[in-house]
């Protein structure tokens, strides 16, 4: 509604300016200008304003400001000038004699301007110059309005993006510090103390390293693939205290890719996801493989029986997808097959 009101006001103002300019340039005084002519000019101004607005909206879809500001500005000037020029010239060609006849009714015949029966060439040139200037001003204002909206949108979007990143970071941290994992780890430590103190001490050290890595790196934008692989290798070694040799990790990542960047705790999330959603025992062993190429790291595991006590809500994967979308608009690819489950995440 606000946009329509603005368009009406601008149309009325434009029509009034053009009408007064034409008559005053023909040496009429303000007292000689009729209300009828003014109303007609303002009405045609409103009609043309809505027409220009309509075509400007269509033009925005064809030539986008953000992609080609110069081309959009020039196209806007030409279209506005052509549309308004044709409409105003047609209007005044049809009504000029009537406008002048009303205006000159109260003045002596000898004082009436020449060529009152049709719009003169000089008046036409003045009309086109004025319309071109107004079209130029309109195009510049449109660009200024677009620039203001872009800056405002960028600021709002930046604040929302920072908040979303913080929310996702907190979700990632909570997933790593969940009580269920800590409870299982303490139970494992309790059982190892009585059977293998050295293994219990190693388990505690790895658990401490895992939490230390989480607290130090969850806020970072990226981390080297080498550090993330070291974390998941230590984590899987720690899980073998619970599952024995029934969990196997094959690291097939070439050495030349270990210096590449990856989101922190991304591989960790996928390893945990594999352990969580598969039954692991002597009869159903879990094998996890890590592979990489120039663009992605792929984490793949075979499928065993799904645990009855675990309901898959894909929160971990959804969180990971959001994080990569915010990280340079990257995409996570999920491949869920009958016998295997694989996730490919980008590296940079």
Least confident residue range of 61-65, 93-97, 131-135, 270-274: 93-97
Higher pLDDT among residues 158 and 168, named by residue: 158
At 291 the three-state DSSP class reads: strand
Token pair 């025992």: residue = 281
Q: Give CATH 3.30.565.10 domain extents, the chain.
A: 187-346
Q: Is the pLDDT of residue 295 over 70?
A: yes
Instruction: Give the per-residue pLDDT at 268.
Output: 85
Selected residue with higher pLDDT from 267 and 313: 267
Q: Do residues 278 and 305 touch, judged by C-beta distance below 8 A?
A: yes
- For the residues 116-132, what does the mean pLDDT come to? 76
pLDDT value, residue 115: 42
Is 201:307 a contact under the CB 8 Å cutoff? no
Give me the residues paired with residue 290 across strands.
251, 299
pTM score, two decimals? 0.52
Architecture of domain 187-346: 2-Layer Sandwich (3.30)
Helix (H, G, I), strand (E, B) or coil at 119: coil
Q: pLDDT value at position 32?
A: 60
| Structure confidence at residue 109 (pLDDT) | 39
Nearest-CA neighbor of 283 among 310, 311, 228, 243?
A: 243
If one compares 183 and 30, the residue with the highest pLDDT of the two is 183
298 — pLDDT class (breaks 50, 70, 90): very high
What confidence category does residue 226 fall into, taking pLDDT thresholds of 50, 70 and 90? Answer: very high
Tell me if 201 sits within 8 A of 208, measured CB to CB. Answer: no
Q: Which residue has the tokens 């293998």?
A: 196
* Separation of alpha carbons 284 and 248, rounded Å: 12
Please state, in angstroms and rounded to a whole number, the distance separating the CA atoms of residues 36 and 116: 17
Average pLDDT, the chain: 79
- For 267, counting Cβ atoms within 10 Å of its Cβ (0-12 exposed, 13-18 middle, 19+ buried), the class is buried
**54/76 Cα distance (integer angstroms):** 12
For residues 115 and 51, the model is more confident at: 51
Q: What phi and psi values does residue 203 have, to the nearest 5 degrees?
A: -65, -45
The percent of residues above 70 in pLDDT, for the chain, comes to 82
Distance CA 48, CA 79 (A): 12
Q: Compute how many other C-beta atoms are within 10 angstroms of the C-beta atom of residue 75.
A: 17
> If residue 282 lies in a helix (H) or strand (E), which one and from where to where?
none
Q: How many helices (H) and strands (E) does the chain have?
A: 9, 7
255: pLDDT strictly greater than 50? yes
Residues 37-96: pLDDT tens digits? Answer: 888 888 988 988 888 888 888 888 888 877 788 888 888 888 888 888 888 888 888 777
Torsion angles phi and psi, residue 107, rounded to 5: -115, 155
For the chain, the distance separating the N- and C-terminal CA atoms, rounded to the nearest angstrom, is 47
Q: How far apart are CA 207 and CA 89, in angstroms?
A: 82
Whole-angstrom distance, CA of residue 90 vs CA of residue 94: 6
Six token digits for residue 243: 């599952």
């Amino acid at each position: 509604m606000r946009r329509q009101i603005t368009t009406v006001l601008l149309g009325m103002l434009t029509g009034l300016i053009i009408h007064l300019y034409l008559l005053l340039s023909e040496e009429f005084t303000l007292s000689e200008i009729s209300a009828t002519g003014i109303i007609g000019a303002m009405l045609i101004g409103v009609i043309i304003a809505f027409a220009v607005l309509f075509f400007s909206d269509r033009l925005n879809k064809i030539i986008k400001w953000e992609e080609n500001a110069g081309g959009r500005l020039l196209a806007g000037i030409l279209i506005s000038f052509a549309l308004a020029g044709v409409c105003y010239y047609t209007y005044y060609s049809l009504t000029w004699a009537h406008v002048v006849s009303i205006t000159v009714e109260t003045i002596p015949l000898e004082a009436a301007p020449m060529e009152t029966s049709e719009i003169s060439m000089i008046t036409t040139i003045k009309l086109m110059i004025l319309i071109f200037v107004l079209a130029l001003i309109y195009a510049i204002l449109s660009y200024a309005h677009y620039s203001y909206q872009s800056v405002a949108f960028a600021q709002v979007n930046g604040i929302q993006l920072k908040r979303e990143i913080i929310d996702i970071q907190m979700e990632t941290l909570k997933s790593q510090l969940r009580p269920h994992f800590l409870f299982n780890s303490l139970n494992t430590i309790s059982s190892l103390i009585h059977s293998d103190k050295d293994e219990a001490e190693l388990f505690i050290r790895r658990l401490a390293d895992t939490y230390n890595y989480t607290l130090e790196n969850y806020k970072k934008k990226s981390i080297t693939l080498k550090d993330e692989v070291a974390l998941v290798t230590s984590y899987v070694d720690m899980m073998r205290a619970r599952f024995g040799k029934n969990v196997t990790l094959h690291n097939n990542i070439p050495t030349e890719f270990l210096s590449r960047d990856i989101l922190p705790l991304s591989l960790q999330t996928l390893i945990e996801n594999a352990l969580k959603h598969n039954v692991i025992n002597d009869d159903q062993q879990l094998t996890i493989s890590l592979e990489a190429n120039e663009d992605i790291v792929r984490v793949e595991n075979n499928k065993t029986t799904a645990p009855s006590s675990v309901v898959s809500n894909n929160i971990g994967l959804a969180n990971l997808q959001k994080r990569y979308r915010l990280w340079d608009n990257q995409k996570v690819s999920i491949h869920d097959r009958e016998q295997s489950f694989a996730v490919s995440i980008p590296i940079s």
